[in-house]
């Protein structure tokens, strides 16, 4: 009998240890998943087009702050569009309910480049608070696969570009092309070196006062001559000095300008031939009428009207003149051959 009681107490201790272990494991699971075991919770629903690599219990973060976890995920039976393909139930601490509003959005994010996926919620500011079992609008995330494909394409392009640059550098190193010849041709270097030597020699000759430029730079003769000219001008010598300092020249120029201004004033006032030609309306009218008459006369000539028009355009007159000149030519020929025929004189006495 005593042995039976001892076995029962051992079984009880084992059961207590198992219950304690399960309790510790449950606490650890809630702690790791971020759900916690303290504080009230509430649930909200969101819809996403896909949840690849997302697991039940994944964290839910509000602007980066962990506020709950994913409780369930399921396919929507009859989705109204691709955006409502997957239904997620989120278990969130109730103290954050006031920050999750109708202008919030839920989506998926990835920790780092290849980390675990989690649900992220943007904080609402102006919308109404979402109640328990309410719906948070979802937003699609750019798939990591597409991002990786774009990155791979970019790396391929960079590799091709580096190969092209490598080819260009090789050609330059081999002296091919304009840049390659410029970088590697010793003749160009020798030419530049020779040019630099010549420029150095020219600079040295200028410093020694040789040549025109050297004399201009090193000799004081030109400076002295210029100084003498300036002194002569200041002393009113020569034509330039008189031109600069002689008051008679100034008076003559002023008088000329005054007369010129007077002539311009007379022209503006319509005086004289030029003034009347520029400002007299009668002259303009006469010229206009004359040009109109000339235009009318030319039109009549072209229309074969009047004597002059017929004279210029009538083919009969041309034919008659041609026949007359032919008869005159024949008569002159007859006169030359037999002048007596035309100079017959008959005298009669009454």
Query: How buried is residue 193: exposed, middle or buried, by Cβ count under 10 Å (0-12/13-18/19+)?
Result: exposed
Contact criterion met (CB below 8 Å) for 97 and 76? no
Look at residue 135 and tell me if it is in a domain.
Answer: yes
Contacts for 245 with CB less than 8 Å, ≥ 6 apart: 233, 236
Specify the pLDDT at position 135: 93
Helices 315-337, 306-313: crossing angle, 10 deg rounding: 70
- Residues 39 and 135 placed together within one structural domain of the fold: yes
Contacts for 77 with CB less than 8 Å, ≥ 6 apart: none
Look at residue 243 and tell me if it is in a domain.
Answer: no
- Residues 214 and 117 placed together within one structural domain of the fold: no
- The total number of structural domains in the chain stands at 3
- Residues 87 and 44 placed together within one structural domain of the fold: yes
- Provide the 8-state DSSP code for 101: B
d(CA 241, CA 345): 94
User: Domain range holding 314?
Assistant: 280-339
Contact criterion met (CB below 8 Å) for 33 and 118? no
Look at residue 10 and tell me if it is in a domain.
Answer: no
Q: What does the chain come to in residues?
A: 350
Locate 32 and state its tokens. Answer: 């790791």
Look at residue 21 and tell me if it is in a domain.
Answer: no
Specify the pLDDT at position 276: 73
- Residues 178 and 211 placed together within one structural domain of the fold: yes
Point out the domain boundary residue: 177, 198, 219: 219
- Residues 47 and 134 placed together within one structural domain of the fold: yes
User: Which residue in 88, 149, 93 sits closest to 117, CA to CA?
Assistant: 88
Look at residue 240 and tell me if it is in a domain.
Answer: no
d(CA 158, CA 76): 43
Specify the pLDDT at position 75: 92
Is the pTM here over 0.85, yes or no?
A: no
d(CA 216, CA 201): 17
Look at residue 264 and tell me if it is in a domain.
Answer: no
Point out the domain boundary residue: 195, 219, 243: 219
User: If you search the block for the tokens 């007369």, which residue do you land on?
Assistant: 259
Contact criterion met (CB below 8 Å) for 73 and 51? yes
Strands (DSSP E) along the chain, which ranges? Answer: 41-48, 59-62, 65-75, 86-93, 106-110, 117-121, 134-136
Helices 281-302, 306-313: crossing angle, 10 deg rounding: 50
Burial track 8-26 (b if 16+ CB lie within 10 A, e otherwise): eeeeeeeeeeeeeeeeeee
- Provide, for the chain, the percentages of residues in helix, strand and coil under a 3-state DSSP scheme, each rounded to the nearest 5: 60, 15, 25
Per-residue pLDDT of the chain (350 residues; tens, 9 = 90+): 445 555 566 677 777 888 888 888 877 666 555 445 556 889 999 999 988 888 999 999 999 899 999 999 999 988 888 888 999 999 999 999 999 999 999 999 888 767 788 999 999 889 899 999 999 998 876 554 555 566 667 777 787 888 878 878 877 777 777 776 777 777 777 778 788 888 888 888 777 777 777 767 766 666 677 777 777 777 777 767 667 777 777 777 778 888 888 788 877 777 777 777 777 777 777 788 888 888 877 777 677 666 666 666 667 777 777 878 887 888 888 777 777 666 655 555 54
- Residues 119 and 180 placed together within one structural domain of the fold: no
- Residues 133 and 175 placed together within one structural domain of the fold: no
- Residues 199 and 106 placed together within one structural domain of the fold: no
- Residues 88 and 43 placed together within one structural domain of the fold: yes
d(CA 338, CA 247): 91
- Residues 127 and 181 placed together within one structural domain of the fold: no
- Residues 197 and 290 placed together within one structural domain of the fold: no
d(CA 326, CA 14): 159
Point out the domain boundary residue: 83, 108, 142: 142
Look at residue 239 and tell me if it is in a domain.
Answer: no
Locate 17 and state its tokens. Answer: 């240890």
- Residues 137 and 197 placed together within one structural domain of the fold: no
Look at residue 238 and tell me if it is in a domain.
Answer: no
- Residue 186 has φ and ψ, to the nearest 5°, of -70, -25
């Amino acid at each position: 009998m005593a042995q039976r009681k001892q076995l029962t107490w051992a079984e009880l201790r084992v059961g207590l240890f198992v219950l304690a272990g399960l309790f510790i494991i449950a606490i650890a699971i809630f702690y790791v998943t971020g759900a916690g075991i303290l504080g009230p919770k509430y649930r909200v629903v969101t819809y996403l087009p896909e949840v690849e690599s997302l697991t039940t219990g994944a964290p839910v973060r509000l602007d980066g702050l962990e506020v709950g976890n994913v409780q369930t995920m399921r396919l929507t039976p009859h989705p109204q569009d691709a955006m409502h393909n997957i239904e997620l139930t989120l278990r969130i601490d109730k103290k954050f309910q006031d920050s999750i509003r109708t202008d919030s959005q839920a989506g998926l994010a990835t920790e780092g480049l290849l980390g675990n996926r989690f649900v992220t919620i943007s904080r609402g500011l102006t919308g109404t608070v979402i109640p328990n079992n309410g719906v948070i609008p979802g937003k699609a995330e750019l798939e990591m696969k597409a991002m990786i494909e774009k990155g791979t394409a970019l790396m391929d392009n960079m590799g091709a570009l580096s190969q092209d640059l490598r080819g260009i550098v090789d050609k330059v190193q081999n002296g091919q092309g304009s840049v390659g010849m410029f970088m590697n041709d010793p003749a160009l270097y020798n030419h530049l070196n020779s040019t630099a030597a010549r420029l150095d020699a020219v600079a040295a000759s200028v410093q020694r006062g040789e040549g025109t430029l050297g004399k201009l730079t090193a000799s004081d003769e030109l400076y002295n001559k210029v100084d003498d000219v300036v002194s002569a001008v200041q002393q009113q010598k020569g034509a330039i000095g008189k031109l600069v300092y002689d008051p008679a020249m100034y008076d003559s120029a002023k008088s000329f300008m005054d007369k010129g201004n007077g002539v311009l004033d007379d022209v503006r006032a319509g005086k004289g031939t030029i003034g009347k030609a520029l400002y007299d309306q009668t002259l303009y009218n006469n010229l206009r009428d004359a040009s109109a008459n000339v235009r009318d006369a030319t039109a009549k000539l072209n229309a074969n009207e009047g004597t002059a028009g017929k004279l210029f355009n009538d083919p009969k007159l041309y034919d008659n003149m041609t026949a007359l000149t032919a008869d005159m030519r024949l008569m002159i020929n007859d006169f030359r051959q037999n002048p007596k025929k035309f100079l017959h004189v008959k005298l009669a006495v009454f």
